[in-house]
Structure 1
Amino acid sequence: MSSLKDALFAFILVVLLILVGRFIHQKIRWIQKLYIPESIVAGVVALVLGPQVLGAIANPNSPLANGVFPESIRDVWSQSPGVFINIVFAALFLGESIPHPRDIWNKAAPQVVFGQSLAWGQYVVGILLTLLILIPVFGIDPTAAALIEIAFEGGHGTAAGMAGTFQELGFPDGADLAVGLATVGIVSGIVTGTVLANWGRRQGYVQGVQQNVAEPEWFEDYTHSETPQIRRARSRLMRNMLIDPLSLNFGFVGLAIAIGWLLLQGLIWIESVTWGVGGFEMMSYVPLFPMALVGGIIVQLLMERLGLHPLIIRPLMNNIAGVALDIVVVTALATISLTVLGENFGSFLLLSVAGITWNIFAFLYLAPRVIPSYWFERGLGDLGQSMGVTATGILLLRMVDPDNRSGAFESFAYKQLFFEPIVGGGLFTAAAPSLIARFGLVSILFLTSGILVAWLIFGFLAFGKQARRARKAEKGIE
């Protein structure tokens, strides 16, 4: 049983590993070129120094037989992803000005269509692959069908946060496979995104010139410039307040998580007295983090209604979420099971290839047909997010549109309000494995295929004609 002192030293080791990751990042050129975050480097270092690599090659009788980290430290690390991911999602919309849904939709609708199509297509591809190959050939658990969307759209945080769900559903290997796929996703997303950016420039789809892109940290304050009115209001509200602003904003995060927990418990209770009476359970398998996201939106709207929203400082929220996400990534990678990846290597490889192939196909075929203006820039951002994390998407946007000529940054940011609460770590992402376990792959295939087709039909009807005219204009056809 780990103590509070073990937790303290566990997180001290995490930040030391991040410093080591930063040092390695600065010294190794190809890591810089791939824009691999220091947290991933740190997690890999921790994995190598742990029992699965260093411990495996060391003499069984040596002090390094279990790696350099004590079991108590590894025990804290194994629990950390499922805890800290709640902070990441709770802070997602705190401090964001939430405009009227109609205004958001008018700016972001084509990217909402494309992003939703990417996500639901990942389910369709994953289910078909699992039905046709993974179960007959490898005998894998059916819930593996959700891994592509969980890992690629959700990223490391969602993948690690779903560990408890996979454990309860009897597929503990799913968590390790998800984290491994998330690593493949973020690396392949940056590599393929960079290749596509260069190709698009040669083809004339991108008019700007690629600049040297800074590290991903730049994006955090890009769309969050504050007005003098907000700063004056914050100064007035915080007058005579004897509390650090970071502590205050961490309190808002805690409030969002508490509201999310109450919502989840309420849904579990409703299920227990309604459809759950017959034995069907779903909400008990849903992790807390998607409800924490909803809690964050509720807190933000409530603070705006009360006129207290200047107290929520968006850059601080970015920092709080960034620290939590770094902890999630480092500890998830540090405790991943290489044995599980080895035992499921065939399934792991096929899921990786299928996910990458679908994303590239969707970008090249769907994006120019449902995004009327600047389809390449806008679509590339969604491609990056669908293979890694939001920062990857914005990083690729920065490569092809450094001056925000297309307005894609705002559309990309607004899109998240119609995206994150559902997929990419939202409610359906969290519920998908339990839905598959309860209703079976064929039923969920019909559901996800129907949703995918609905988004595509809507996209082609609403934006297809405009997109065709734009493509003709690009080719000089009147």
Structure 2
Amino acid sequence: MALQFGTYYTLIFAAVVLLVGKFLVQRVRWLREFNIPEPVAGGLVAALVSWGLNLATGVQPSFDAGLQNAFMLVFFSSIGLSANFAKLRAGGLGLVVFLLVVIVFIVVQDSVGVALASALGLDPLIGLIAGSVTLVGGHGTAGAWGQVLEQQHGVRGAVTLGIACATFGLVIGGLIGGPLAKWLIQRNDLRGPQANGQAGALEAGTPNFEFPHKTRIITADAAIETMALFAGCLAFAEFMTHFTAGTAVQLPTFVWALGGGVLIRNILDYVFNFEVFDRAIDVFGNVGLSIYLAIALLSLKLWELAGLAGPLVVILAAQTVVMAAYAGFITFRVMGRDYDAAVLCAGHCGFGMGATPTAVANMQAITNQYGASHKAFLIVPMVGAFFIDLVNAVAIQVFIKMFG
């Protein structure tokens, strides 16, 4: 029996999840010590309550997916609106190197999935579903490619399987990123700027999302202007999604939202010389991030994950180990073995197993304790939200041609 909650109730529950997560992180020592993001802490409690309700009564709570999607688009729009060319240049060589590290990881992730699926007697394409299709790709990519694999390659239940794997990845990505970064920081005796000394750190060059709990002073006029910018991004994303449907340049809607933000921001900056109010974009973006994660975790159907086949559990467990090992031994070393590299590892675990919002939440959990990492907050949102989807689409197509 389904219990459907509408838009308003979904928003209320999401706010409660965030408040519960904040309370738990403040009161439970090990959550703070392992840098578990607040939406993940609160969301898992809500998911466990839903699971208990399902076991006891058979009721399956469900929440407004449209609201979740809307806040996801707001978050990605905020990434684009904060990415003027000056900030992209600031990412510099580090952005290129990190992108190369991530490209290699996608190949590793898909190779592990396909190899284990074959060894366990499964269709190799199921291993691809338990690879970058769902882990790097997330729920949107899982749904899109799941339909392709079902209709064109005969993989039965690919969409359902993909959503389950993506859900697993979203949870695990939020659980392993913080502890891994903390371990790297302590093991290598790294030093970041202390979080309690950042009150005056909100200078013009600070990347968005870096200090989510700091007070931002914004006006009603700035809020209205910013809402108009977000509306422009969403309108652009909707138009381009329909315009490019079925073409070679078809991309997920959130990529168009991010791209629209980049276009609007830089046209306003360099053509009209209009000063975009970054603090308002930051507030809107962090709100979108938090509510998206809260609804995503609130919507977890743990009873579906509990029913995953044994071989698939083996593949996903192996992917978790591979992700942690790759980030800890490859990403960390290639990116410089310093504090910024440790924060980048937290972000890599977030979108390598789940989604870019999880990556940002992981990094926030670390920087709230140890201090700012401008480099990580410049690089991860752009790589995880934009470049990675283009690269992942190519990698998936190559593997399908090889094993389909």
Query: TM-score if structure 2 supplies the norm length?
Result: 0.77
Aligned counterparts, 1:38-187, within 5 A: 38-50=38-50, 52-56=51-55, 58=56, 60=57, 65-66=58-59, 69=61, 74-76=62-64, 78-99=65-86, 103-104=89-90, 108-109=92-93, 111-137=94-120, 139=122, 142=125, 144-145=127-128, 159-169=138-148, 170=150, 171=158, 172-187=160-175
Distance in 2, matches of 1:398 and 1:26, equals 12
Q: Is 2:12 the counterpart of 1:24?
A: no
Q: Is 2:324 the counterpart of 1:356?
A: yes
Distance change >3 Å, CA 85–CA 118, structure 1 → 2 = same
Q: Which amino acid aligns with 1:390?
A: V
Give the one of 302, 316, 336 matched to 2:280. 316
Distance in 1, matches of 2:318 and 2:80, equals 35
Provide the residue aligned with 2:345 in structure 1. 383
Q: Which amino acid aligns with 1:264?
A: T
3-state SS, counterpart of residue 174 of structure 1: helix
Q: What stretches of structure 2 of length at least 5 have no aligned partner?
A: 151-157, 209-217, 351-358
Q: Which string of whole-angstrom CA distances, capped at 9 and with x for unpartnered residues, describes residues 2-57 of structure 1?
A: 9x99211221221122222222222211112222222112211221221x33320x
Q: Which string of whole-angstrom CA distances, capped at 9 and with x for unpartnered residues, describes residues 137-180 of structure 1?
A: 1626626537555777x6xxx62443532553342222232232
Distance change >3 Å, CA 161–CA 418, structure 1 → 2 = closer
CA contact (8 A) 1:162 1:175 kept: no
Structure with the greater alpha carbon radius of gyration: 1
Q: Post-superposition shift, 1:198?
A: 1.2
CA contact (8 A) 2:113 2:127 kept: yes
Distance in 2, matches of 1:147 and 1:319, equals 35
Provide the residue aligned with 2:213 in structure 1. none
Q: Which amino acid aligns with 1:186?
A: G
CA contact (8 A) 1:95 1:309 kept: no
CA contact (8 A) 1:160 1:328 kept: no
Distance in 2, matches of 1:332 and 1:306, equals 38
Provide the residue aligned with 1:299 in structure 2. 264
Q: Post-superposition shift, 1:294?
A: 0.7
Provide the residue aligned with 1:37 in structure 2. 37
CA contact (8 A) 2:40 2:294 kept: yes
Distance in 1, matches of 2:132 and 2:265, equals 28
Q: What stretches of structure 1 of length at least 5 have no aligned partner?
A: 227-237, 272-281, 443-478
Matched pairs, number: 372
Distance in 2, matches of 1:12 and 1:133, equals 42
Give the one of 305, 318, 335 matched to 2:299. 335
Distance change >3 Å, CA 134–CA 17, structure 1 → 2 = same
Q: State the identity %.
A: 14
Q: Post-superposition shift, 1:418?
A: 6.3
* Aligned-pair Cα RMSD in Å: 3.8
Distance change >3 Å, CA 124–CA 95, structure 1 → 2 = closer
Q: Which amino acid aligns with 1:173?
A: L
Q: Which amino acid aligns with 2:34?
A: L
Provide the residue aligned with 2:211 in structure 1. none
Q: Which string of whole-angstrom CA distances, capped at 9 and with x for unpartnered residues, describes residues 305-331 of structure 1?
A: 343532x32222122122222222122
CA contact (8 A) 1:91 1:321 kept: yes
Distance change >3 Å, CA 385–CA 376, structure 1 → 2 = same
Give the one of 210, 216, 232 matched to 1:255. 232
CA contact (8 A) 1:194 1:396 kept: yes
Distance change >3 Å, CA 141–CA 260, structure 1 → 2 = farther
Distance change >3 Å, CA 415–CA 349, structure 1 → 2 = closer
